[in-house]
């Protein structure tokens, strides 16, 4: 495995000099896409609640797809948005399930990270329940820095200036520093 080189010291010095530039984890979203409603979706909700410790919200289909027998507005999945300490605790467990290795392709140019976990039983301290089965899910991490509120506020919202946006390398540095992850291409992912 070749480790991707990121100049951590450059970003750490910059954040130390100006604390308003230091990014933070705004939210972590766990998304369980089941593809159908009914008993399987209820089991996914139960698993989601057990893993995250928070009640999930249903996600609905946006259109009718006859080949998959999905109707418009039918519940087909569930998701949970975590913030603060709960987000960090869950993220620690999710990264442990991935072996604390994330490929650089999981990072986008705005500093957000997304990766998938194939089986929920890979998460530490999670037991297999034959009544529920096994579910895979996606984890999305949103990273912001102080001042990002201007794009969400109701009075006079503005765009985030280019120099204040988070870069891919900054997000990598933040996760390496806070969670001790490695950013490498795993040999398995090269074949897919």
- Residue 192 placed within a domain: no
Hey, which residues does 66 pair with through a beta bridge?
A: none
Residue 165 inside a domain? The answer is yes
**Residue 84 placed within a domain:** yes
Q: pLDDT digits over 51-83, tens only?
A: 998 999 998 888 888 887 778 888 888 999 999
In a domain, 51, yes or no: yes
- Total of domains in the chain: 1
Boundaries of domain holding 29: 8-183
Residue 115 lies in a domain: yes
Higher pLDDT residue, 156 or 188? Answer: 156
Global pTM value = 0.85
Q: For residue 190, tell me if it sits in a domain.
A: no
Residue 1 inside a domain? The answer is no
- Looking up residue 100, the CATH number of its domain turns out to be 3.30.1440.10
Query: Does 37 reside within a domain?
Result: yes
In tens, the pLDDT along 19-48 reads 888 999 999 999 998 888 888 889 999 999
């Amino acid at each position: 495995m070749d480790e991707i080189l990121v100049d951590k010291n450059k970003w750490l010095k910059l954040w130390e000099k100006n604390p308003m530039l230091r990014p933070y984890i705004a939210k972590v979203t766990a998304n369980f896409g089941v593809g159908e409603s009914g008993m399987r979706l209820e089991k996914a909700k139960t698993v989601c609640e057990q893993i995250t410790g928070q009640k999930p919200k249903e996600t609905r289909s946006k259109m009718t797809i006859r080949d998959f027998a999905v109707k418009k507005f039918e519940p087909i999945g569930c998701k949970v948005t975590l913030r603060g300490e709960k987000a960090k605790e869950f993220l620690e467990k999710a990264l442990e399930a991935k072996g604390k290795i994330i490929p650089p392709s999981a990072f986008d140019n705005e500093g957000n990270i997304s990766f998938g976990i194939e089986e929920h039983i890979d998460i530490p301290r999670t037991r297999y329940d034959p009544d529920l089965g096994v579910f895979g899910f996606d984890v999305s991490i949103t990273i912001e820095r102080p001042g990002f509120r201007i794009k969400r506020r109701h009075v006079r919202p503005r765009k985030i200036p280019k120099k204040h946006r988070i870069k891919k390398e900054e997000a990598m540095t933040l996760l390496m520093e806070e969670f001790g992850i490695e950013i490498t291409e795993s040999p398995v992912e090269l074949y897919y």
